[in-house]
A and B are shown apart, each in its own frame.
Chain A
Amino acid sequence: MSIESSVAERRFAVDRQALIKRLRALLPAQALLVEEEEMRPYDCDGLTAYRQLPLIVALPADEAQAQAILKVCYELKVPVVARGAATGLSGGATPHRDGVLVSLAKLKKIISVDPVSRTAVVQPGVRNLSVSEAAAPHALYYAPDPSSQIACTIGGNVAENAGGVHCLKYGLTVHNVMRVRGLTIEGEIVEFGNAALDAPGYDLLALMNGSEGLLAMITEVTVKLTPKPELAQVVIASFGDVRQAGDAVASIIAAGIIPAGLEMMDKKAIHAVEPYVNAGYDMDAEAILLCESDGTPEEVAEEIGRMTAVLENSGASGIRVSRDEAERLKFWAGRKAAFPAVGRMTPDYLCMDGTIPRKRLAEMLEAINGLSEKYALRCANVFHAGDGNLHPLIMYDANQPGELDRAVAFGAEILELSVRFGGTITGEHGVGIEKVDVMAEQFSLAEIAAFHRLKAAFDEHGLLNPGKGVPTLARCREYTLARAGNAATSPRL
């Protein structure tokens, strides 16, 4: 049962020529790509191990064109996959072979920035960082800051409920979005949320966050802007032992401190990053923690003092506090470059995304080290430690026979452990195609069936991003049987 097959599983009988004809009648010529070489760049997202050409790529320039595309697709029962910047790491934007890939990249207008109500209205193709740039003249910013923020889009952020390195204090995308405007699969315009702090009826806005393009196509988003704190400073603490670093995380929270950011990197990650960005990290450390404080200068001074004391008591072998904004950004630049830095060390990598209770971080790190030996694959670890969100980066070479399969099995074991530790298989990257089978680890058949009914409440024919997010009941049964078989033959960790 390979990951690839989840999307391919359900076929749709689509007359490609007829579809092209209908779409050509509605869209300008440059809005449709139909030749293989033009469509190639769209064949995958950040999960590059899985590639698939769609039937057609459509590039609407506005909501009306997106609506026209959906209406035709709905009428002809053609699957539709939305795509932002394709930085997703779980295959959410991987095309469907019988479907239209709709790139929202051209919808990239910042419609308004309102400093009085502290909101911005943006189109879905606007890049995350450009919202903060547009708000900067008003001393405001958009708080969720995924490490991919120079590239990823707001539409993709909402679809994945993206997080960042500051979300322990400032929340995830779902906490920072007030309104989502979108199109149903029928091409009808819908608005979830509004310009106020709540909306009547069910909280469909919450449901849109993290819905991975399975419920509606997002065409406009109102985001909340946050006042820039007067001052922010980050502490870097080095540890000679990963267990101490993991325990220090719990101690910080136990001391009643909610850091603006609390991140952890292990030795492999440090060694990948340091030569690449010269962030000034301690190359001798087994792990480092980045712990940020923000607020008024008095508040920051007080909090940094408390953080430093906890870190020292937790056995930190070295502590540095950023001296100015340039140094703070340099310290963060290393963390934010972790994925590409690891990417330089290996032909390919898989990024895991489990979340576990903080108190089990150290245990998890040790288990991952064991698995790294078991599968003979290197693994670097960067954690959103404050949230218990893990990003083990499993390095492999797709050209070496068997390595991809080993990497996938390695990843699956980490996810199973995450569930067993009381956590989840994905904290922020989404299920996509990558984790669709592992969903059966976390949810019962009845729960999976409830997800399917929920999906049908929006998209009765299952045309939006089919095969992603939620496994079919048949796949769940197969997964459970296969796991039971494995458990019988090989004892688990």
Chain B
Amino acid sequence: MEELIDDWIGRVADAASSDRGLAIRGGGSKLFYGCPEQGEVLEVGGYRGIVAYEPTELVVTARAGTPLRELAAALAEKGQWLPFEPPHFGPAATVGGMLAAGLSGPRRQAVGALRDYVLGVKLLNGSGEVLSFGGQVMKNVAGYDVARLLAGSLGTLGIVLEVSLKVLPLPVAEKSLRFAIDETSALKKLNEWGGRPLPISASAWHDGMLTLRLSGAAAAVAAAQRHLGGEALADGLAAAFWQALREQSFAYFTGDAPLWRLSLPSAAPPQALPGPTLIEWGGAQRWLREGDERAIRVAAAKAGGHATLFRADDAAKAAQGVFQPLPAALLRIHRNLKRAFDPQGVFNRGRMYPGL
């Protein structure tokens, strides 16, 4: 399989010398995310397979083309998983695409984000060098934390070859509860509960209904359920609900209208923005299906967060940009970092910001 890398090194050199861009593609499941692909497509899904997995070390290392499904199945066999519940967005999703997109699922507020579980990364940079950063151990501060920097970098810094991730045991027990409650009260409650040692692992509010998931030791889940009340969901129903939320297969998420993601402080009040909203992560992630770009970005920034045009057609993305614009000083650092890893600007041109 290593001959694939030799081939890519050649492709990268050719592209660099002729000032062409390469669009790195794993399974293509997250093509919708970020700005449209530019340049010649470089398929990297062939570089696949789990390299090392030792359940007692809580670490798995997989090649970037490994299908996420395959990884999840291998972990489940040993009673473990990736606790941040990365959305797959389709059966083709790969480990490398997951890292590059940097997205986390419903459990994010409770257990941390994808980047929190990244331990090490092997990368092919724009000069055709294979570099390893981080490692396979829980704690590592030798050198800058490039492995975490690559999480969410949308392939703009290089071709991810291999990823080492921290994994955890599956929760012993889970229970989902439902409450009929308005948006303002739901946000208030979620933040109040968040300040208490309750085993809340996910939350979703939409259209007057708050759904909570409790996860942990059986005793802790049972105690929290007694304490919180609400209406308990049948287990099968609950599993389907959280899966649909994670994969955005709910009716709320489908259709052609643009999908905006607002990342806000969890305690931010309800936003005076048009259209129905869906709230996750205890208030820290909120979705919208309509609205004016400027108004949304200004509101998000004012509340202390930022907004992403998560799904939209290419024309809308080109006109509005996908990600919140960066302040000048940060943009300069971004450009410098891009040059440090990809001096000729070969990889995923413009996928995150124009010119990056």
A209 within 8 A of B: yes
Does any Cβ of A come within 8 Å of B54's Cβ?
yes
Complex-state Cα separation, A450 to B132, whole angstroms: 10
Q: Is B246 an interface residue (CB 8 A)?
A: no
Which of A211, A443, A446 lies in contact with B129, CB distance below 8 A? A446
Q: Is the CB of B330 within 8 A of A359?
A: no
- A298 to chain B: closest residue by CB: B219
A430 to B143, CA, bound (A): 9
Contact of A384 among B139, B142, B324 (CB under 8 A): B139
Contacts of B195 in A (CB 8 A): 115-116, 118, 138-140, 227
**Residues 306-342 of B contacting A (Cβ, < 8 Å):** 306, 308, 323-324, 326-327, 329-330, 333-334, 336-337, 339-341
A402 to chain B, nearest CB (A): 28
Cα distance, A414 to B222, chains bound together (Å): 47
- Judge whether A202 and B144 touch: CB under 8 Å: no
Q: With A and B bound together, what is the CA distance between A198 and B137 in angstroms?
A: 24
Residues in B131-169 with C-beta less than 8 Å from chain A: 131-133, 135-146, 148-149, 151-153, 157, 168-169
Q: B196 at the A/B interface (Cβ < 8 Å)?
A: yes
Q: Does A453 contact B (CB under 8 A)?
A: yes
Bound form: Cα–Cα A424–B334 in Å: 28
Contact (Cβ within 8 A) A296 B352: no
Closest to B220 in A: A299
Known: A161-B145, A457-B333. A299 touches B116 (CB 8 A): no
- Nearest CB of A to B264, in Å: 5
Contact of A388 with B330 in the complex, beta carbons under 8 Å: no
Q: Which of the listed residues B115, B148, B192, B195 has the most CB atoms from chain A within 10 Å of its own CB?
A: B195
Does A335 lie at the interface of the complex (its beta carbon under 8 Å from any beta carbon of B)? Answer: no
Which B residues touch A302, using CB under 8 A? 217-219
Q: A468: shortest Cβ distance to chain B, in Å?
A: 12
Residues of B within 8 A of A26 (CB): none
Most buried by B among A210, A356, A457: A457
Task: Give A191-235 interface residues, CB cut-off 8 Å to B.
Answer: 191-192, 194-204, 206-207, 209-211, 215, 227-230
Interface: A32 (CB within 8 A): no
Is the pair A201, B323 in contact by a Cβ cutoff of 8 Å? yes
Find B197's partner among A175, A295, A384, A386 (CB 8 Å cutoff).
A295
Residues in A with CB closer than 8 Å to B197 are 227-230, 295-296
- Given the interface contacts A175-B116, A195-B305, A202-B337, does A430 sit within 8 Å of B141 by beta carbon? yes
Contact of A454 among B306, B327, B337 (CB under 8 A): B337
> At the interface, yes or no: A171 with Cβ under 8 Å from chain B?
yes
Chain B proximity mask over A452-477: 1 for CB below 8 Å, otherwise 0: 01111110000000000110000000
Asked if A19 CB lies within 8 Å of chain B CBs, one says no
Give complex CA distance A461, B53 in Å.
42
Q: Return the contact of B56 from the options A196, A254, A355, A470 (Cβ within 8 A).
A: A254
Of A118, A201, A303, which one neighbours B194 at CB under 8 angstroms?
A118
Chain A contacts of B132 at CB under 8 A? 443-444, 447
Measured between beta carbons, the chain B residues less than 8 angstroms from A482 are none
Task: Let me know if A425 is at the binding interface, CB within 8 A.
Answer: yes
Pair A197/B284 contact, Cβ less than 8 Å: yes
A12: interface (CB < 8 Å) = no
Residues of B within 8 A of A117 (CB): 191, 265-267
Segment of B105-113, B234-242, B248-256 in the binding face: B105-113
Q: In whole Å, how far is B298's beta carbon from the nearest beta carbon of chain A?
A: 14
- Is A209 in contact with B169, judged by CB distance below 8 angstroms? no
B285 is an interface residue with CB less than 8 A from chain A: yes
The 8 Å CB contact of B152, one of A197, A203, A425, A426, is: A203
A60 to chain B, nearest CB (A): 20
Q: Which residues of A contact B324 (CB under 8 A)?
A: 200
| B258 interfacial by beta-carbon distance below 8 Å | no
Are B139 and A206 interface neighbours, CB within 8 A?
A: no
Q: What is the minimal beta-carbon distance from A398 to any residue of chain B, in angstroms?
A: 26
B149 close to A206 (CB less than 8 A): yes
Least distance between A19 CB and chain B CB atoms (Å)? 25
Cβ contact within 8 Å between A202 and B219: no
Closest to A356 in B: B137
Q: Does B281 interact with chain A (Cβ within 8 Å)?
A: yes
Q: Is the CB of B139 within 8 A of A174?
A: no
Apart from A196-B263, A202-B334, 18 more pairs, CB < 8 Å: A117-B191, A118-B191, A163-B139, A190-B333, A191-B330, A194-B305, A206-B145, A215-B144, A251-B56, A295-B197, A296-B217, A298-B222, A299-B223, A302-B217, A389-B139, A442-B142, A446-B130, A454-B146
30 chain-A/chain-B pairs, Cβ below 8 angstroms: A119-B265, A163-B139, A191-B330, A196-B306, A197-B266, A197-B284, A199-B306, A203-B102, A203-B148, A204-B149, A204-B330, A206-B151, A207-B144, A209-B145, A295-B216, A296-B197, A296-B217, A298-B220, A355-B140, A389-B138, A424-B140, A424-B141, A444-B132, A450-B129, A450-B131, A451-B144, A453-B340, A454-B144, A455-B144, A469-B143
Chain B residues within 8 Å of A, Cβ to Cβ? 54-59, 79, 102, 108-109, 112-113, 115-116, 125, 129-133, 135-146, 148-149, 151-153, 157, 168-169, 191-192, 194-199, 216-220, 222-224, 263-267, 281, 284-285, 304-306, 308, 323-324, 326-327, 329-330, 333-334, 336-337, 339-341, 352-353
